[in-house]
Chains A and B, each alone.
Chain A
Amino acid sequence: MSTQADPAQPAEAAGPVRGRVDQAVVTAPHAATAGPVALTTAGLTLGFGTRTILSDVCVDVRRGAVTALIGPTGSGKTTLLRTFNRMNDRVSGYHRKGDVLLDGRSIWHPGVEVMELRRRIGMLFQRPNPFPMSIMENVVAGARAHRLVGKAGMKDVAEKHLTAVGLWGAVKDRLKDSPFRLSGGQQQLLCLARALAVTPEVLLLDEPTSSLDPAATQAIEELVRTLVPDITVIIVTHNLAQALRVADRTIFLNQGRMVENGETRQLFEHPAEEETAHYVAGRFG
């Protein structure tokens, strides 16, 4: 919120990222869509208490691609996203049928360690959520928890990932500072660096730019394109233009059902389903 109130800050947030534009453009969207499947949901039905939120969702998420998850508000996008890294497991009244497979193996298989699963499937939230520790400690917090880095290697790891998100220049002199003094966009980039530092295979983004201004949004979008094909990205967005800009493939959810799943351009320009056409047309107005 404060980001939008102060016009000086977003520019500062996006500044260091600007230099990456050319690089980002090289990896054009809609290019690499064919790849093996990373995540599969099989007849996934789930709800809280007596309510059913998702019904019989079957989707494939291609490895190394950016997949957008679109749909009206309350359609279950966040719920589906949070199922992938088992964040819903502890919500009271949660019940589920069906399965989610990561590399062909159920994420609820007894052999799957949930903390390791969450390391492999990272998440960026709708609003930035830094931890109450210094900027540098924030970046390496997850990596330290997973013993991917010792105390000695902290600075190097922090530099590597802050550079990757284009934040290094802005924070290199204030690594010991509070992350809460950064602008909203910078905080979100910091959280992205933190998620990348545990070397995830899949990254879940839940409306990562909804609290950011256009410049910071652009920075994040460009970054997302640089993550593929090393990382499989799923991004929830209400902004269809954003889906068109960043996503190779798109999934359309409506009222907890998967309506359509296909290549982004195809889905927007020649939707197979009436519902999709309706939503896409309505949203572009």
Chain B
Amino acid sequence: MASAPLARSVGEAVAPSPRRPAPMLRAVVRRADVVRWLGRTGAVIPLAALVFILVVLLIESLPAIRYNGLHFFTTTVWNEGVSYNALPVHSGGVYHMSGAAFGALPEIVGTLLTSLIALIVAVPVSIGAALTIVERLPRRLASLVGIFLELLAGIPSVIVGLFGALTFGPFIAHHITPVIARNVPDVPVLSFFRGQPGSGEGLLTSGLVLGIMIIPIIASTTRDLVRQVPILPREGAIALGMSDAQCARRVTLPWVGPGIVGAVVLGLGRALGETMAVAMTCGVALSTVPGNIYTTMTTIAATMFNYLDTAFLDGTGFAVRTIAELGLVLLVITMVVNIAARWLVRRVSGIALPVGRGV
């Protein structure tokens, strides 16, 4: 976009010339045109892609939206209907197998809960790690840790899922959760931590695995942000006799607060949509809203993945439409979270930073 005024001024400079513009000048003008054109296209592509995906999902899921109605958001059944020796039923303009009923409440609740657990774990750890890397570690060690952080971010989710299902889940289920499950008092909120600890597949394992996956995302972004905080205000805080923690909380982090919210949203987006690691550790309970933090459950992404094979067996195609509707819901949740975070940033960050003041 920035090239547009430039290109125009080049054009004006050339136009009034009485002689033919030199070939080189003409080439410059033409190149500026190309740049402008490319810039405009580039700016529009993300928006167009998003609208396109939304529209396609909407069209694909339209029959499901019509038949499932609002019950989709309030019920917990997950049943494609009778598929053997049965004819499709036609109701409300939509063909489906008899007895088909879909409610995505467990998926929606599961998605939000796993991501919430992931954030509760990952945000403090990531911010702490970022501050430590920038302010405590010697430079060599800091860059080494940074490299590992980026490697960690690149681990395929199926590997993390395997680790969660084989090692991490069983470990916490045998050694950690039984103690918590037995000793937590039976009061509101905390009672969510009571119950059968299970075998290590379920909400807690999935949430923690997600947490592990988004730590490198949030931590490396936050580290880059913290690095940009100028030394002068930080030294000012130290010279006032503030502790490192006070300096971080009152000066360093607020300085890049909006950026950190952005980093958290990035991680949250990943957690909301993460499929493989959750599908491998959640226990796939398609029709129960988790009653405690140890029960097997599912998320939107995990159900879409796990259920797709079965859905294709539905000759009416209605089950696949329902999966498309699930996808639409996930996309909307992700977008709403994104917009909400932006709004939050604008609300919270009241203090204008010194931009271009040179003081």
On A, residues with C-beta under 8 Å from B are 1-3, 85, 87, 92, 114-119, 122-123, 125, 127-134, 141-142, 145-146, 176, 178-181, 184, 187, 191, 194-195, 198, 211
Q: Are A130 and B250 in contact (CB under 8 A)?
A: no
Q: Are A131 and B232 in contact (CB under 8 A)?
A: no
Q: Are A132 and B254 in contact (CB under 8 A)?
A: yes
Q: Which residues of chain B are within 8 angstroms of A178 by Cβ–Cβ distance?
A: 350-353
Quick check: is B100 within 8 A (CB to CB) of the other chain? no
Q: Are A194 and B353 in contact (CB under 8 A)?
A: no
Q: Which residues of chain B are within 8 angstroms of A87 by Cβ–Cβ distance?
A: 235, 238-239
Distance between Cα atoms of A191 and B233 in the complex (Å): 10
Q: Are B358 and A145 in contact (CB under 8 A)?
A: no
Q: Are A131 and B138 in contact (CB under 8 A)?
A: no
Quick check: is B92 within 8 A (CB to CB) of the other chain? no
Q: Are A92 and B138 in contact (CB under 8 A)?
A: yes
Q: Which residues of chain A are within 8 angstroms of B241 by Cβ–Cβ distance?
A: 114-119, 142, 145-146, 198
Given A131-B233, A141-B250, A181-B352, also A118-B358 (CB < 8 A): no
CB distance from A195 to the nearest CB of B (A): 7
Q: Which residues of chain A are within 8 angstroms of B243 by Cβ–Cβ distance?
A: 115, 145
Given A1-B358, A115-B242, also A129-B352 (CB < 8 A): no
Distance between Cα atoms of A155 and B347 in the complex (Å): 23
Residue of B nearest to A123 (CB): B239
Quick check: is B333 within 8 A (CB to CB) of the other chain? no
Distance between Cα atoms of A194 and B242 in the complex (Å): 13
Quick check: is B240 within 8 A (CB to CB) of the other chain? yes
Q: Are B239 and A131 in contact (CB under 8 A)?
A: no
4 residue pairs, one from A and one from B, having the closest CB atoms? A142-B240, A118-B241, A1-B358, A119-B241
Q: Are A129 and B238 in contact (CB under 8 A)?
A: no
CB distance from B63 to the nearest CB of A (A): 52
Q: Are A180 and B352 in contact (CB under 8 A)?
A: yes
Q: Are B251 and A122 in contact (CB under 8 A)?
A: no
Distance between Cα atoms of A115 and B242 in the complex (Å): 6
Given A115-B243, A145-B246, A184-B359, also A131-B237 (CB < 8 A): yes
Q: Are A194 and B232 in contact (CB under 8 A)?
A: no
Q: Are B236 and A131 in contact (CB under 8 A)?
A: yes
Name the one of B138, B232, B358 contacting A125, with C-beta atoms under 8 angstroms.
B232
Q: Which residues of chain A are within 8 angstroms of B357 by Cβ–Cβ distance?
A: 2, 180
Quick check: is B72 within 8 A (CB to CB) of the other chain? no
Q: Are B236 and A125 in contact (CB under 8 A)?
A: yes
Residue of A nearest to B240 (CB): A142
Q: Are B359 and A128 in contact (CB under 8 A)?
A: yes
Given A125-B232, A184-B359, also A85-B239 (CB < 8 A): yes
Q: Are A132 and B242 in contact (CB under 8 A)?
A: no
Q: Which residues of chain A are within 8 angstroms of B237 by Cβ–Cβ distance?
A: 131, 141
Q: Which residues of chain B are within 8 angstroms of A92 by Cβ–Cβ distance?
A: 138
Residue of B nearest to A131 (CB): B251
Q: Are B359 and A131 in contact (CB under 8 A)?
A: no
List 16 A-B pairs, Cβ < 8 Å.
Answer: A1-B359, A2-B357, A2-B358, A115-B242, A117-B241, A123-B239, A125-B239, A131-B237, A132-B251, A132-B255, A132-B353, A133-B250, A141-B242, A145-B243, A176-B350, A211-B359
CB distance from A141 to the nearest CB of B (A): 6
Name the one of B233, B235, B239 contacting A130, with C-beta atoms under 8 angstroms.
B233
Q: Are B242 and A142 in contact (CB under 8 A)?
A: yes
Q: Are B352 and A198 in contact (CB under 8 A)?
A: no
CB distance from B230 to the nearest CB of A (A): 8
Distance between Cα atoms of A181 and B355 in the complex (Å): 10
Quick check: is B354 within 8 A (CB to CB) of the other chain? yes
Q: Are B240 and A198 in contact (CB under 8 A)?
A: yes
Name the one of A145, A176, A211 contacting B240, with C-beta atoms under 8 angstroms.
A145
Which among A122, A129, A180 has the highest number of chain B CB atoms within 10 Å?
Answer: A129
Given A187-B359, A211-B359, also A133-B239 (CB < 8 A): no
Residue of A nearest to B251 (CB): A131
Residue of A nearest to B243 (CB): A115
Q: Which residues of chain A are within 8 angstroms of B235 by Cβ–Cβ distance?
A: 87, 125, 129
Q: Which residues of chain B are within 8 angstroms of A128 by Cβ–Cβ distance?
A: 359
Distance between Cα atoms of A179 and B359 in the complex (Å): 11
Q: Are B359 and A2 in contact (CB under 8 A)?
A: yes
Distance between Cα atoms of A131 and B239 in the complex (Å): 13
Q: Are B250 and A131 in contact (CB under 8 A)?
A: yes
Q: Which residues of chain A are within 8 angstroms of B240 by Cβ–Cβ distance?
A: 118-119, 122, 141-142, 145, 194-195, 198
